[in-house]
Amino acid sequence: MALEDASTTKKGIVQLSSATNSTSETLAATPKAVKAANDNANSRVPSNRKVNGKALTADITLTPKDIGTLNSVTMSFSGGAGWFKLATVTMPQASSIVYIALIGGAGYNVGSPHQAGISELVLRAGNGNPKGITGALWKRTAVGLTNFAWINTSGDTYDIYVEIGNYATRVNIHWDCTANATVSIYTSPTYSASKPSSVTDGVVYTMYSTHQKPTPLDIGALPTTGGTVSGPLSVTGGLTGSLNGNASTATKLQTARSIGGVVFDGSANINLPGVNTTGNQNTTGNAATATKLQTARKISGVPFDGSTDITLTAAHVAAFARRATGSYADADGGVPWNAESGAYNVTRTGDSYILANFYTGVGSCRTLQIKANYKNGGLFYRSSRDGYGFESGWEQVYTTGFRPQPADINAPTAADGWLNSGNGTAFTTAQFITWLNNQGAFSNKYWIARCSWTYANNNYIDDTGCGRIDLSGSVIEVFSNKSTSHYTIRVTTTTTSGHGGVNNAEFIYVYNGSDYAPGWRRSYNTRNKPTASDVGALPLTGGTLSGGLTSSGEIVSRYANGFRIAYGSYGFFIRNDSSNTYFMLTDSGNSLGTYNSLRPLIINNANGAVTIGNGLNVTGGINGSLDGNASTATKLQTARNINGVKFDGSGDININTLVSRGPVTALSGSTQGTAGIQMYEAYSNNYPTSFGNVLHMKGASAAGEGELLIGWSGTSGAHAPAFIRSRRDTSTANWSGWAQVYTTAHKPTAKDVGAAQAFSASYSTGAGNWTTAEFIAWLKERGAFEVPYWMMKGSWSYADNKIITDTGVGNICLAGAVIEVLGNEGAMTIRVTTPTTTTGGGIACAQFTYINHGSAYSPAWRRDYNTALKPTAADVGALPISGGTLTGNLRLSADNASIVCGNNGDIGFIKKQGYPGAIVTGSATKFMIMRSNAATNISAANTLTEVMSIQPTSNRADFVGEVVSHSANALRAVYGNYGFFIRNDGGTTYFLLTASGDKYGSWNTLRPLSINNASGAVSMGNGLSVGGGVNVTSGNIRIPTSSTSWIDMRNNAALSNSSAVATSSASAIIRQEHADRHYFVGGLGNSQFGFYMINKSRTANGTDANAYLQNDGTWVCGGNGSFNDVYIRSDRRSKRNIRKIERALDKLEQIEGVLYEIQVCDRYEQSGGLIAQDVQNVQPELVTVDHNDQSGEPRLRLNYNGVIGMLVEAVKELREEVRELKAKM
């Protein structure tokens, strides 16, 4: 037997070795080597020992926190005194702490121990509400860190900045933090001479000590060097030392002084020699004996030395003389502007007048002169400007003897007495205007007169176009701009007339230039009503309807085939066979015939389900639930409010933010406001206006304060009132009342001069619309209720005047309109007369009247009718000549009277023997009308067979047979803003809509539903919302798609669900029906999408089979896969960090190949393979975590492709061992 070397797998010859560091597997260790290894092991630290809590399983690194000390670094602040970015910290909320200390200071001078200072910075995170940090810097000396701040850069991360003085070099920085925080110190911090922007300032605390004491200012004390005590000072122990300059308590001078040679220290009175007790001193140069001044002086320019008396005039002392200062001639301009102040006599031809001249010689107005004529003949004044003298002439002052004329104060002018307008002949309008002009009617903004009650002395106007105006006894009013270019005339006639004029009438003539349709109109009233012809109505005596008669109720057919449109080659009608309602078509060329085989649209009468029989083309998408799936929401059904802004999802919105302190209740009494400048909002909170902005101003120390209120006008560009008030600077002072600021837009009213006010002959009220309340508020702002009568005329500009839209009787355009206000705010009458042309939906040639005597007395507008603005038939409850709806009966009182509907009586209504009435054509009776309590029946050919009934109780018409229309546009339903009708153009039958607000008009661009008359195919042109599902009995659903990009596929899908699925909810888009199960295409929230099968017998939540794509791109199949081939992408270019699988053979030894039953949905099937946990123990990279689709619990997923790689490497290792064995053999 041959001897072989021993190995790890077989016995054999072994060679001994005493080496302790050999790696050979063929040499055997001697006892010596074993002992050496044992001694070496005993001398080492056991592996279960720990250093500061860290096990010695390998090399370890101890941190400062491990050994109970602080992190530390030595660094320098280079660049000089300034700001440095010291650190970046991460501090999670609730909570974390960072501590940073600077050891050393700024400077290192010997003998300056304060430069060896310590500065400690402590930062603490908040609780997350609000989010942020707080911090404090604790200073022990004046040098070192002097300030700090931080910036939140992102999330919980903050940059820390510190301020430090010069020469902060080679200092130590210590820091520590809680376990959940991090600190990064910059050993070369970035320098900035000034504090960075957008930082949050920290708080600095000074730690006082015997080496760093507080100053007197720090603790509110008086320095030993002196200072000011702001309050009383009480001293109980006396004062030692000198009180410089204080005399309130001195009883004796510290140093005695000499007065006139006599010592005086303040302790006693003294007498001076040569001075008596009355104060006279008989010494040289003193006044007691002087008869003349040593040096002469001037008194008001006159020399005086005391030797003689002097006389001063009024001019010397700038005073008025007791008599005339001088005299001037009026022809020479009177007294010059720079004459001395005084009273002057000014002569003129025949008399003279007195003039008082006040001359200062300084300022902008240096001279004021007032003159008066004798016997209260007038008082006048004038003034100069700077050094230019008088630039304006004399102005007379109004007095009780010289009152202003109406034109002077914009007050109405009334003619004196009754006027005679002529001699009983005819006036033209032009002659009437000329006569008014001669009477001075256009010299003022408002002129009023009354003609005499004599027919022979007054004319009449015949060319109005709306009736003769008899001027006898009439009232004439003229509103103008003080010229004949723009004016309004109103003539109110009497109850009787001698010239054949219209009585009880009001005529209005408006002239704004020949280009703006000047003309007369006559107002209607209860004594002067319009006729039916005036308002285009059907008289009760009968007349002609030129249009159709529209029913405001339903049109009902009780015949199976109901409404029909016969136009072109095809007929369309609606059929109800009691089970279903059909939209039917006739054959081509037989528009009045029966239906063909097509069924474009069928409605099940029991459940409302719609069946499309010949295909459906939808242009605008299908919205709604398809077999229970959610609708595609492009707009919220109910708009919601977000911060008060309406949002329905159809567009973006902006959320406004407040910029003031919001509404604050007005201060009252002596209540003080906040110091500084504050802005509030007046919002029905005790301010003089309901809404506005309030600016409150108060100083830092004084108690005085003031407020400015600017109201909101409510209309763009309109004037808003402004108010001011104040409170004096004592704590107990009350607020003053609000005072409105007069501006160019808010002038004193006529009430200030005690007159009625003609506000303006041409005033712009501003662009936009008004409510009545806004109009009244505007009138109130202009003082319209402060005088008994107030009027104005709007400027002749459409763009610059308002339109009142809520009168209920028509819009009022104020351009060129005359506005009159009578009464006060509590009992007002407002009259607005509009011109002959208008804009913005306003009514021309109209007179509107608004009366308000309080909310309990039905305040409202009314509009007068006139010949130019007649009431409509609807206004007076009549039937228009053009046709309309009668809500009551139409009775003809005359025997054999007829309603003529065609050619001169071809069709008429007569009483028929034995019947209440009949509709006849010529002599042949076609239909009978029967009357009963229930209905009015129409019967054919003198029989009682009912063909139509009108139900008065339900406002409905019933037809037993078809209702046929030979017009292309047939049945129309008008309700609300839109009209709906059915149109048959011969080729297609359309269901059409009108434009909003034009319900009787033509169709708009929408095509909700159309039926091809030849094929019966139905097209939906604007989308289809289905409430009960879509059931396609035959054919396909074809949806056009578009060529697009990957990213655009999100919004260009052929089929999509209409709303987002909740994260944990399942939703299906397509369902395939089977006898015992359902197949779906759908998904689960935002985590998976794919194919699913659910048995109908299932009762628990879950699926019975699935294959889906997860949101991470992983494809999951709940069962097995059957493929011809499986290709797995394995290109090197798709991989990185490639490394060889080591010890693959050893790893395979720890893995077992097993047979098992595997769960497939809710069942188990036989299979075989590996256990993922076994592979995870040896090669965890091949195992990932998945979740069970039924229970949701985590399950391991194995990469069998990776196992193949392990097998390849194991085979290679096995082959290498085989090679070694072969080599040894």
Strands (E) in 655-721, as ranges, are: 676-683, 691-698, 705-711
pLDDT in tens, 320-347: 666 788 899 999 889 999 998 889 999 9
What is the C-alpha separation between 462 and 435, in angstroms, rounded?
A: 15
CB 171 within 8 A of CB 74: yes
Q: Which of 377-381, 733-737, 874-878, 1003-1007 has the lowest mean pLDDT?
A: 874-878
852 vs 634: which has the higher pLDDT: 852
**How much is the pLDDT for 431?**
95
8-state DSSP, 528: B
pLDDT in tens, 83-94: 999 999 999 998
- Cα–Cα nearest to 51, from 39, 59, 43: 59
661 vs 17: which has the higher pLDDT: 17
**DSSP β-ladder status, 956-959 and 946-951:** antiparallel
**How much is the pLDDT for 585?**
92
**How much is the pLDDT for 943?**
44
What residues have CB less than 8 Å from 476, skipping those under 6 apart?
436, 441, 448, 449, 450, 451, 489, 490, 491
pLDDT in tens, 93-142: 988 999 999 888 777 778 777 778 888 999 999 998 889 999 999 988 87
Q: What is the mean pLDDT of residues 34-48?
A: 72
**How much is the pLDDT for 642?**
64
Scanning 646-687, the segments in alpha helix (DSSP H) are none
What is the C-alpha separation between 168 and 107, in angstroms, rounded?
A: 6
Q: Which of 238-242, 602-606, 709-713, 985-989 has the lowest mean pLDDT?
A: 238-242
Amino acid (1-letter code) at residue 1024: L
Q: What is the mean pLDDT of residues 341-367?
A: 91
Residue 501 has pLDDT above 90, yes or no: yes
Residue 170 has pLDDT above 80, yes or no: yes
Residue 962 has pLDDT above 80, yes or no: yes
Amino acid (1-letter code) at residue 803: I
- What are the structure tokens assigned to 237, written together? 């122990």
Residue 950 has pLDDT above 60, yes or no: no
Q: What is the mean pLDDT of residues 449-462?
A: 94
Q: What is the mean pLDDT of residues 579-584?
A: 91
In the Cβ-directed half-sphere of 706, how many Cα atoms lie within 13 Å?
6
**How much is the pLDDT for 810?**
92
Q: What is the mean pLDDT of residues 458-471?
A: 95
**How much is the pLDDT for 1069?**
81
Residue 388 has pLDDT above 50, yes or no: yes
CB 146 within 8 A of CB 139: yes
**How much is the pLDDT for 380?**
94
938 vs 457: which has the higher pLDDT: 457
Q: What is the mean pLDDT of residues 1024-1036?
A: 76
Q: What is the mean pLDDT of residues 258-268?
A: 79
Residue 944 has pLDDT above 50, yes or no: no
- Cα–Cα nearest to 382, from 345, 406, 356, 408: 356
Q: What is the mean pLDDT of residues 132-159?
A: 91
Backbone angles phi, psi at 416, to 5 degrees: -75, 125
What residues have CB less than 8 Å from 834, skipping those under 6 apart?
510, 812, 813, 816, 817, 842, 843, 844, 845, 846, 847, 848
Residue 1185 has pLDDT above 50, yes or no: yes
Residue 964 parent element (H or E): strand 963-965
- What are the structure tokens assigned to 1177, written together? 């123990």
**DSSP β-ladder status, 71-75 and 145-154:** unpaired
- Cα–Cα nearest to 160, from 151, 169, 173: 151
Q: Which of 329-343, 346-360, 840-854, 867-881 has the lowest mean pLDDT?
A: 867-881
Q: What is the mean pLDDT of residues 368-393?
A: 91
**How much is the pLDDT for 109?**
77
Residue 636 — very low, low, confident or very high, per pLDDT cuts 50/70/90? confident
- What are the structure tokens assigned to 51, written together? 């250093």
pTM: 0.36
Residue 72 has pLDDT above 80, yes or no: yes
- What are the structure tokens assigned to 1013, written together? 């008359």
**DSSP β-ladder status, 924-931 and 936-940:** antiparallel
What is the C-alpha separation between 318 and 1114, in angstroms, rounded?
A: 109
Q: What is the mean pLDDT of residues 156-167?
A: 92
Residue 918 has pLDDT above 70, yes or no: no
What is the C-alpha separation between 101 and 78, in angstroms, rounded?
A: 18
Task: Report the share of the chain in percent with pLDDT over 90.
Answer: 31
Q: Tokens 């016997």 sit at which residue?
A: 375
Residue 903 — very low, low, confident or very high, per pLDDT cuts 50/70/90? very low
Angle CA(514)–CA(519)–CA(522) in degrees, nearest 5?
A: 165
Residue 54 — very low, low, confident or very high, per pLDDT cuts 50/70/90? confident
Q: Which of 212-216, 233-237, 1009-1013 has the lowest mean pLDDT?
A: 233-237
**How much is the pLDDT for 275?**
57
CB 1041 within 8 A of CB 1055: no
387 vs 245: which has the higher pLDDT: 387
Cβ neighbour number for residue 3 with a 10 Å cutoff: 7
Question: What 3-state DSSP class applies to 744?
Answer: coil
634 vs 1133: which has the higher pLDDT: 1133
Q: Which of 256-265, 906-915, 973-982, 1136-1145 has the lowest mean pLDDT?
A: 906-915
**How much is the pLDDT for 901?**
52
Bridge partner residues of 1090 (DSSP): 1082, 1108
Mean of the per-residue pLDDT values of the chain? 82
**How much is the pLDDT for 725?**
93
Residue 151 has pLDDT above 80, yes or no: yes
**How much is the pLDDT for 259?**
79
**How much is the pLDDT for 916?**
44
8-state DSSP, 1048: G
What is the C-alpha separation between 172 and 184, in angstroms, rounded?
A: 15
**How much is the pLDDT for 909?**
43
Q: Which of 281-295, 812-826, 1140-1154 has the lowest mean pLDDT?
A: 281-295
Residue 643 has pLDDT above 90, yes or no: no
- Cα–Cα nearest to 142, from 49, 214, 38, 86: 214
Residue 934 has pLDDT above 70, yes or no: no
HEC per residue, 831-867: EEECCCCCCCCECCCCEEEEEECCHHHCCEEEEEEEC
Q: What is the mean pLDDT of residues 489-505?
A: 93
Residue 929 — very low, low, confident or very high, per pLDDT cuts 50/70/90? very low
Q: Which of 233-237, 574-578, 652-656 has the lowest mean pLDDT?
A: 652-656
What is the C-alpha separation between 474 and 504, in angstroms, rounded?
A: 10
